[in-house]
């Protein structure tokens, strides 16, 4: 989905700006931490909506910023489109670099956590059964899609630096969020026919 299409659904441009601001500030905050941890320089993709944020010859990293505590839920989730892209990159890059890796990094108020994307971790986490249709409309648009729910017990903490949270993002978080885009007991296909 490109930026133009997404923006049609925003009800508050300040909300969009707050979440983009939070993401960019956390990318700047955690990039040197990730470079130190991996002992490699990271380059950033130029697109704010790229599927994976950073890359090097040896690996790719997607950084997700969280407003909630790591202990609020048993899982944290990431768009399944990012999981698919990470596995595509692993297959492509391992043809020339068998040790190539992909990582998901999660910036929580308690620090920075990693999850390595690989077949073993995917299955250990629950495999395809860990994919659920979830989302939120707290950001001013219906962001419901397939997500991989990653068990927080499978995350590795690499740094204690708390993530930056834009205050506007916390205001949005306090608003009630609907649980599903489709009312309970209603068939999605029936809605599509109307």
Number of Cβ within a 10 Å radius of residue 44: 15
CA distance readout (Å), 97 to 1, 20, 42, 58, 91: 30, 33, 17, 8, 10
pLDDT in tens, 131-159: 999 988 777 677 899 999 999 999 999 99
The set of residues, in sequence order, having a beta carbon less than 8 Å from that of 158 and lying 6+ positions away, is: 33, 37, 111, 112, 113, 114
Q: How far is the C-alpha of 53 from the C-alpha of 58, rounded, in Å?
A: 14
pLDDT digits (tens, 9 = 90+) for 70-82: 999 999 999 999 9
Note the pLDDT tens digit of each residue in 47-99.
Answer: 766 789 999 999 999 999 999 999 999 999 999 999 999 999 999 999 999 99
Q: Which residue has the higher pLDDT, 181 or 98?
A: 98
pLDDT given at position 175: 52
Residue 183 in this model has a pLDDT that exceeds 60 = no
Residues 105-133: pLDDT tens digits?
999 999 999 999 999 999 999 999 999 99
Q: Is the pTM of this model over 0.85?
A: no
Phi-psi region of 26 (alpha: psi -120 to 50; beta: other; left: phi over 0): alpha
- The DSSP secondary-structure symbol of 117 reads E
Residue ranges and CATH numbers for the domains of the chain are 3-193 (3.40.1350.10)
SS3 of residue 189 by DSSP: helix
């Amino acid at each position: 989905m490109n930026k133009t299409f997404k923006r049609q659904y925003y009800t508050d441009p300040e909300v969009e700006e707050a979440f983009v601001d939070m993401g960019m500030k956390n990318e700047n905050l955690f990039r040197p931490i990730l470079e130190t941890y991996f002992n490699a320089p990271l380059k950033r993709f130029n697109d704010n909506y790229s599927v994976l944020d950073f890359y090097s010859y040896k690996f790719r990293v997607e950084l997700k910023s969280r407003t909630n505590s790591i202990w609020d839920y048993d899982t944290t989730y990431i768009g399944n489109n990012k999981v698919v892209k990470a596995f595509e990159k692993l297959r492509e890059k391992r043809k020339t670099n068998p040790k190539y890796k992909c990582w998901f990094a999660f910036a929580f108020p308690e620090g920075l956590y990693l999850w390595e994307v690989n077949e073993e971790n995917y299955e250990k986490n629950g495999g395809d059964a860990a994919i659920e249709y979830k989302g939120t409309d707290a950001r001013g648009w219906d962001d419901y899609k397939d997500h991989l729910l990653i068990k927080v017990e499978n995350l590795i903490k690499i740094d204690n630096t708390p993530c930056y949270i834009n205050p506007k993002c916390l205001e949005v978080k306090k608003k009630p969020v609907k649980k599903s885009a489709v009312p309970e007991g209603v068939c999605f296909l029936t809605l599509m026919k109307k």
